[in-house]
Amino acid sequence: MSQILLASFFLVVSCALFQPWQVAYLKAGANHVTMEEVAQRMGPPCETETSVLASGGTVWRYRNCEYQAGDLEGPGRWWCDNYKLSFDKDHILRQWHKNTTPM
pTM for the model:
0.73
> How many other β-carbons are positioned within 10 Å of the β-carbon of residue 69?
7
What is the set of domains in the chain, with CATH numbers?
Answer: 21-102 (3.30.1450)
pLDDT digits (tens, 9 = 90+) for 22-51: 999 999 999 999 999 999 999 999 888 765
Identify whether the C-beta of residue 86 lies closer than 8 Å to the C-beta of residue 94: yes
- Local confidence band at 14 (pLDDT 50, 70, 90 cut-offs): very low
Burial of 54 (0-12, 13-18, 19+ CB in 10 A): exposed
Instruction: Tell me the per-residue pLDDT of 82-96, one tens digit each, with 9 for 90 and over.
Output: 999 999 999 999 999
CA distance 51 to 59: 8
How many angstroms from the chain centroid is the CA of residue 36?
Answer: 17
